[in-house]
Amino acid sequence: MRNLIFTKILDLQISIFIFTVIIVLIIPYLVFGQLKSQDKPVRIKQEIVQPIQDKFLGLSIFDPSKFSMSHSISMSYFTLGGKGISQSLYLNTMSYQIASPLLLRVQWGIQNFPYNTLAKNNPVFESGLFLSGAELQYKPSDKLEMRLQFNRMPNYMYNRYWYDNPLRPYRSSLWDWDEKK
């Protein structure tokens, strides 16, 4: 009885092995038969260099002529009572004109405090990457403008009086300081 069960199990294992070998040998022929020849070879260098013809294929959705970017770098050092702090800051503002009246703007940066003996454990002086703000501006005419904004400012920079002051020149966002009014 045991011998009969052992033979049936062995026959089943051999059948599974033969089936697996047949599948492994047949599948490459099926896959290889999908593409007989390529009509027009793709030349990557020419595809990168040639101007965009169809704006909806591949990465051609992004139009570089509608994109602008500005950078600023600043470095500072402050000392008080024999202690000091140094800061370096890189700020990047990217704008993309999605449509004629619709503009997307993102501002991000990297700050670093390589030397800090003034306020060692203060979270305000942490180094790293940060998102300063983002804005979606819709301006169909000179008399109508709508903005959806996200601004993130450190607590020490926030001055509510400046925004409530009726005598200040009209500035609606951080990025308006670069524009000529």
The pLDDT tens digits for 9-62 are 778 888 888 888 888 877 776 666 555 666 676 677 776 666 656 554 455 567
Q: Is residue 16 part of a domain?
A: yes
76 and 145: one domain?
yes
75 and 152: one domain?
yes
- Which pTM does this prediction carry? 0.52
Mapped onto helix, strand or coil, the DSSP state of residue 150 is: strand
Q: Is residue 45 part of a domain?
A: no
Counting the structural domains of the chain, the total is 2
Q: Is residue 172 part of a domain?
A: no
Q: Is residue 171 part of a domain?
A: no
Q: Is residue 11 part of a domain?
A: yes
Q: Is residue 181 part of a domain?
A: no
Residues 6+ apart with CB under 8 A from 146: 137, 138, 139
Q: Confidence class of residue 121 from pLDDT cuts 50, 70 and 90?
A: confident
Q: How far apart are CA 14 and CA 84, in angstroms?
A: 79
Q: Among 50-64, 69-83, 143-157, name the most confident range.
A: 69-83
78 and 140: one domain?
yes
74 and 138: one domain?
yes
Q: Is residue 95 part of a domain?
A: yes
72 and 149: one domain?
yes
Buried b (16+ CB within 10 A) or exposed e, 12-40: eeeeeeeeeeeeeeeeeeeeeeeeeeeee
Between the alpha carbon of residue 158 and those of residues 95, 112, 162, the distances in Å are 24, 20, 9
**What's the confidence (pLDDT) of residue 68?**
93
Tell me which residue of 133, 119, 134 sits closest to 84, measured CA to CA. 119
Per DSSP, 34 falls in state T
Q: Is the pLDDT of residue 180 over 70?
A: no
Structural domain range at position 22: 1-31
70 and 26: one domain?
no
21 and 87: one domain?
no
Q: Is the pLDDT of residue 158 over 60?
A: no
Between the alpha carbon of residue 50 and those of residues 43, 46, 54, 64, 135, the distances in Å are 11, 6, 12, 14, 32
- Tell the residue number behind the tokens 């062995």, with chain if given: 10
70 and 113: one domain?
yes
Q: Is residue 179 part of a domain?
A: no
17 and 101: one domain?
no
Q: Is the pLDDT of residue 81 over 70?
A: yes
105 and 22: one domain?
no
25 and 77: one domain?
no
Do residues 133 and 150 lie in contact, with contact meaning Cβ atoms separated by under 8 Å?
Answer: yes
* DSSP calls for 131-142: EEEEEEEEEEET
- Tell the residue number behind the tokens 């965009």, with chain if given: 52
26 and 106: one domain?
no
